[in-house]
Amino acid sequence: MDFKKLTPPDYNKLSDSSDNEVTNRNHIIFGFYDFDISPDEITVRLKLNPTKTGLKGEEFEIGGRNKIKKIRDCSFWEFEIKTVTNDFIGDLVDNFARDIIKDRTKEIKELSSTCQCKLTVVQYYRDGWNPGYFFSRELVRLLADVNAEIDIDTYCLSEDKSASR
């Protein structure tokens, strides 16, 4: 099978984005997965309203026009912020950790002792050619202290200007 590379204009068509878009889209998500309590209990304990929750065994759909029905294999609770900025992603993550995680360390540690805890960083990178990540030792210590895993997804959508020379 021969796969064609998805070009930035092709991606823009799929995502309803402008062909001229040059600003990065960033998603930072802190979540709990595979737990046996109600997601509402996590909300109460953290005093933070999630952006998305789901229950094990619940039916959900994925996909665009041709949706596929699936069954959730675990419960989850997520809090997400989305930004459209070319600010350095490490700074955005540091701010998120300071504002969302740091003051809830005790509660997060208690929750993460019985389930998976994860910080997810997703960036649709459009500005430049080489996205880089730097996480301060304070951030790494904080995430280790609350037993959080780190998941980073980067989608480089900037045009390769050197190819047109």
The pLDDT tens digits of the residues spanning 49-82 come to: 999 999 999 999 988 888 999 999 999 999 999 9
Q: Are strands 76-84 and 68-71 parallel, antiparallel or unpaired?
A: unpaired
Give the pLDDT score at 2.
Answer: 60
- What is the phi-psi region of residue 147: left when phi exceeds 0, alpha when psi lies from -120 to 50, beta otherwise? left
Query: pTM of this prediction?
Result: 0.81
Q: Does the pLDDT value for residue 10 go beyond 70? A: no
Rounded CA separation 1/13 (Å): 23
Q: How confident is the model at residue 9 (pLDDT cuts 50, 70, 90)?
A: low
In this predicted model, which residue has the larger pLDDT, 90 or 130?
90
pLDDT of residue 1: 52
Query: What's the confidence (pLDDT) of residue 19?
Result: 46
